Amino acid sequence: MAFIDDFKKFAFKGNVIDLAVGVVIGGAFGKIVSALVADLFMPLVALVLPSGDWRANGVVLRQAADPKDDVVVKYGDFFGAVLDFMVIALVLFIVVSRILKAAEGRLSRPKPADDPVIKECPFCCETVPIKATRCKFCTSQFA
């Protein structure tokens, strides 16, 4: 029974649940960003490039009797994956570093500085309450 109790404590800790929620939301956000890149940005890239289906570009290294057995280096697919990564990284950078930091800045306002509750004795450098008129360590009187 101790094993089951330990497992319950571990599985239902706040950190584990927060991590699980973060992974699920991160996966959903990843799908949104991937769809944004695939559906909006990549068609614009295809318009700029001279070949319409630029991901199908490749070099045949060895040609076989059956075309599906050909050895092909698909450099177009590789460059497409690299471009996908760069665009996704750019979108995440813009979202995370700019928009979320701006939103956090508006939500967290700096608190006014509290009045100090202690002060330092100029004679012995010990800390004493701010309202004290005499140091309790060296018995010096404050002005």
Q: What is the mean pLDDT of residues 64-84?
A: 81
Residue the block writes with tokens 């089951």 = 4
**pTM for the structure as a whole:** 0.44
**What's the topology of domain 2-110?**
1.10.1200
Return the pLDDT at 55.
72
CA atoms of 82 and 55, how far apart (whole Å):
11
- Burial of 135 from C-beta contacts in 10 A (0-12 / 13-18 / 19+): buried
**Which pair of tokens denotes residue 102?**
């701006």
Estimate to the nearest angstrom the gap between the alpha carbon of 37 and the chain centroid: 19
Query: Quick one: average pLDDT of 16-41?
Result: 80
Residue 50's pLDDT is 67
Domain boundaries, the chain: 2-110, 114-143
- At 14, is the pLDDT very low, low, confident or very high (cuts 50, 70, 90)? low
84 burial via Cβ count (<10 Å: 0-12, 13-18, 19+): middle
Per the model's pLDDT, the better-predicted residue between 30 and 109 turns out to be 30
pLDDT classification of 109: cutoffs 50, 70, 90: low
95 falls in which pLDDT band (50, 70, 90)? confident
